[in-house]
Amino acid sequence: MRERFVVEGLNGQKKLQGEIAVRGAKNAVLKILPATVLFADEVELQNVPHIEDVDRMRELLEGLKTNQTILRKDIAERFRASIVLTGPVLARYGAVEFPFPGGCVLGERAIDLFLNGFKAMGASVVEDDSYFKITANGKLKGAHIIFPLVSVTATETLMMAAVLAEGETIIENAAMEPEIGYLAEFLNSCGAQISGMNTPVLRIQGGELLRAEGKPFVVPPDRIETGSFAILAALAGKDVTITNCDPSWLNVPLSLLAQAGVLVETTQNTIRIRGASEYRMVPVRTHEYPGFPTDLQAPMAVFMSQCAGEGSILETIFDGRFRYVDDLVVMGADMTVMNPHRILIRGPKKLTRKNLESPDLRGGLAYLLAATVAEGTSTIDNAYLIDRGYERIEERLSKLGLSIKRETSQ
């Protein structure tokens, strides 16, 4: 049964106020859940967000109880993060079978980094009708792996595989997202030997199964949710405080908002946003951490549509991530797709109501932001995609004063 959000727009007025707390990080919990395969005992997780992607990962783990080496096709083929399970499963059980992972359509997302990494560690790879069968041929061997491009999921997957490998593994051009370092520190506290966190070179000395021995993994705050709320508050907030967050993980986005004229105040774990009457256009270029997150690109485009002047977004991580632009143009935004990696935005432009359907997780959140500042009542269909990353978003935004409800759609 499909659901949708119904949003009564604020017509450009800044009315939202109050506090909104950030939930646990989607991009952290979706990695610690696969990491539990590396443990000889149970791992307690705290601050877990109640989102669809967490439910899917749990289902995949449940499926491994029936067959330790095969990922359920009906889930894995439509759930991109499923590929992270391949590293721990291969390392512990010596084999893994999985379909080509699915998820949001964000252009070409090849898995060669994963397959080549496994091969470097001594595994053999067989592809059969879009299904991959990987065999460790005994125990995985430490290897020197150099990524031709930075990949968060490949870094995490091969790092976890190396924890149980024989000998030392070196990963060069590794991603430096804070969630990776946070995970590595917990694994180290449980017996892993990982060094180089928050640098482009990781070194992992392989060993035996890990033991939590009662130590809980506390899921850190979601920095993408934090950034999404900051952009929403800038667009429609009178005085909004974001709590339970880590502002230091969002230095670039918060700096750009401040440059545009947003009043931003931070403490160690809060961000206060006060909206201004007008904003200046700022240029945006997505980049691996600590740069501007690609997952905030679509919400930032909505913000830029309300800024004075002309600016552009350069998307350096994915192609095919501008699928939301056409609908925002219909709402009144002045946006032009120059090529698969760049859009031009002129503003400010008044947005009007529209019935929309979420194209993907972050694009769906961008539609919700656009509906918030638009004139009239908009609907955002396919709420499931937004639920994949944001826990009960309508209940939380209602407390800030937004008129938003969830209803069943046909």
| Closest-CA residue to 379 (of 391, 389, 371) | 371
Residue 370 pLDDT level (bands cut at 50, 70, 90): very high
The structural domains of the chain, with segments of one domain joined by +, span: 3-23+221-408, 26-218
pLDDT: which is higher, 106 or 301: 301
Complete DSSP assignment for 254-278: HHHHHHHT-EEEE-SS-EEEE--S-
pLDDT of residue 102: 61
| Average pLDDT, rounded, for the chain | 95
pLDDT, tens digit (0-9, with 9 covering 90-100), for 285-296: 999 999 999 999
Q: Is 90 exceeded by the pLDDT of residue 267? A: yes
Give the torsion through C-alpha atoms of 205, 211, 213, 217, to 10 deg: 70
pLDDT, tens digit (0-9, with 9 covering 90-100), for 325-369: 999 999 999 999 999 999 999 999 999 999 999 999 999 999 999
pLDDT, tens digit (0-9, with 9 covering 90-100), for 99-116: 887 644 434 446 899 999
Q: Is 50 exceeded by the pLDDT of residue 402? A: yes
Assign domain 26-218 to a CATH class: alpha beta
State pTM to two decimals. Answer: 0.95
Residue ranges with strand state E in 291-400: 309-314, 334-339, 342-347, 355-357, 377-381
Mean pLDDT of 142-161: 97
- Strand order across the beta sheet in which 194-195 lies: 144-146, 168-172, 201-205, 194-195
3-23+221-408 and 26-218: same fold? yes
pLDDT of residue 410: 67
CA distance 301 to 220: 26
Q: What percent of the chain has pLDDT over 70?
A: 98
pLDDT of residue 131: 85
Range in 71-80, 132-141, 204-213, 230-239 with the lowest mean pLDDT: 71-80
| Closest-CA residue to 70 (of 78, 79, 60, 80) | 60
Q: Are strands 403-408 and 3-8 parallel, antiparallel or unpaired?
A: antiparallel
pLDDT of residue 104: 43
Mean pLDDT of 220-236: 98
pLDDT of residue 306: 98
Catalytic residue among 104, 190, 245, 307: 104
Q: List the CATH code of the domain at 3-23+221-408.
A: 3.65.10.10
Active site residue 307: no
